[in-house]
Structure 1
Amino acid sequence: MNKDQILVVDDEWNMRNLLRIYLTQAGFGVKEAASGREAVDLMRINAFDAVVLDIMMPDMDGWQVCEKLRSFSIAPVMMLSARSETKDIVKGLKIGADDYMPKPFQPEELIERIHALIRRSRQARFQAGQVRKIAMPELTIYPEGREVLVQQMAVELTQKEYDILLLLAEHEHRVYTRDVLVDKIWGTEYDGDYRVVDTHVKNIREKVQRAGLSYNPIQTVWGVGYRWYKG
């Protein structure tokens, strides 16, 4: 099963780095956003299992980010802040945060709270019949759980491989060029070789077909890029 993916949002590098260390050691996959706007952009193109969100940020504060996320995402949000007044906690919960921890915090407590948030979120969606899936012949993707099944058997993908697979599957009628895929998956600051996309697509194809998929779910559009094929 793929790792649960956490988005860490904080404008201070030291705090992001500290959270990344704690979360990675606990077995999570971690992506970072240094601003509220970057966080919203990442949430639109990635399926995160939870968000750890700082409040005091310069461009969009955590409350604004949380309100924006709630307009299109149901991922649980853990707010972190040096502000521990009751009114701040209540404000965060009212606008859609699922939990609130004051700084400084104990890493063990943070990790357990995040596990609890993800567990409750999945249970609630399951009970409400809202677990989203993308289903096609022999292949099923569960975006919230970042799970890929071929004939009900889990396929182990890296984070980037999964992100490419999900992006193409969610936009099956669109052809993505390599540069657009790099911008969306690696970010606009990536300055490496765009052929990295070809390597990841090759790996995805090999893994799903080795797992028993009888067709190639990612088609090459020669001279342009890649698109999804439903089989």
Structure 2
Amino acid sequence: MVVEDEVELANIVCGYLQRDGFEVVVVHDGVEAVQTAREVDPDVIVLDLGLPSLDGVEVCRQVRTFSDAYLVMLTARTDEVDTLVGLSVGADDYVTKPFSPRELSARIQAMLRRPRGFGGQQTSEGARTFGALRVDPVGRDVWLEGELVALTRTEFDVLAALSGRPKMAFSRRQLIEEVWGETWVGDEHLVDVHIGHLRRKLRDDPGEGKYVRTVRGVGYRMGTG
């Protein structure tokens, strides 16, 4: 689903995505975006930050209450604060205007190549345990002190990368390549934003690092719990 109030830009993006084999729905304002997301249940939402009726941040907040679609936020603002605000409500990635529709399509394809779980009976085989935290990479579930933790797909992917090699200190670039793909281009501090989300949801004090530990001068690694 493409949500963009500039009709010409929306049509260009739609055309590129359709040529790459995607089924695309286009909407032009925030209220319609929330309603359409409920109706069509998209796999990916390309969402402009500056929309009429509801801005992109509020659309993102509302959509995240019922959808785990991958969400790419478009912004014409280069101010880092705007970018971080957008990501703090659940965006998986962002693209700053002007951008290449071909690059946007490549990012979406990379997102959809990530493992997304499967239908049928889920299993805890291969679950990883760190103290009171359990990460199930097969069922894509995370449990803390026996309670299920609601993570976005990208938050889960970051945690899965860290927990898959718990003794490794990942640089931001290494986590970008693990989660977003080797061809991703952008501000690598995107990783810090998602790490912050994880710590908040896991009730993990950054200074203590029970579950996600900061390695000074390098990046992040898994804590022991």
Q: What TM-score, normalized to structure 1?
A: 0.50
CA deviation after TM superposition for structure 1 residue 13, in Å: 0.9
Contact 2:12/2:101 (<8 A) preserved: no
Q: Aligned match of 1:69 in 60, 63, 67?
A: 63
Q: Aligned match of 1:35 in 29, 32, 35?
A: 29
CA 1:25/1:94 → structure 2, altered by over 3 Å: closer, same or farther? Answer: same
Q: Aligned match of 2:74 in 74, 77, 80?
A: 80
> Alpha carbon RMSD of aligned pairs, Å?
1.7
Structure ID, larger Rg: 1
Runs of 4 or more, structure 1, over 4 Å off, are none
CA deviation after TM superposition for structure 1 residue 129, in Å: 2.1
The residue that corresponds to 2:139 in the other structure is 129
The residue that corresponds to 2:108 in the other structure is 114
The residue that corresponds to 1:25 in the other structure is 19
For 1:107 and 1:20, the matched residues in 2 are separated by 9
**Is the partner of 1:52 in helix, strand or coil?**
strand
Per-residue CA distance 1:104-158 (angstroms, 9 max, x = gap): 11122111111122223xx144545269xxxxxxxxxxxxxxxxxxxxxxxxxxx
Q: What TM-score, normalized to structure 2?
A: 0.52
Q: Percent identity?
A: 43
**Is the partner of 2:106 in helix, strand or coil?**
helix
Per-residue CA distance 1:32-87 (angstroms, 9 max, x = gap): 11111111111111121100000101200000000000000000100011112211
The gaps in structure 1 that reach 5 residues or longer are 1-6, 132-231
Greater relative contact order, per chain length (Cα 8 Å cut-off, separation 6+) = 1
CA 1:128/1:36 → structure 2, altered by over 3 Å: closer, same or farther? Answer: farther
**Is the partner of 2:94 in helix, strand or coil?**
strand
Q: Aligned match of 2:10 in 8, 12, 16?
A: 16
1:1-231 to structure 2, matched below 5 A, reads 7-120=1-114, 123-126=115-118, 127-129=137-139
Count of matched residue pairs? 123
CA deviation after TM superposition for structure 1 residue 96, in Å: 0.2
For 2:73 and 2:41, the matched residues in 1 are separated by 18
The amino acid across from 2:6 in the alignment is E
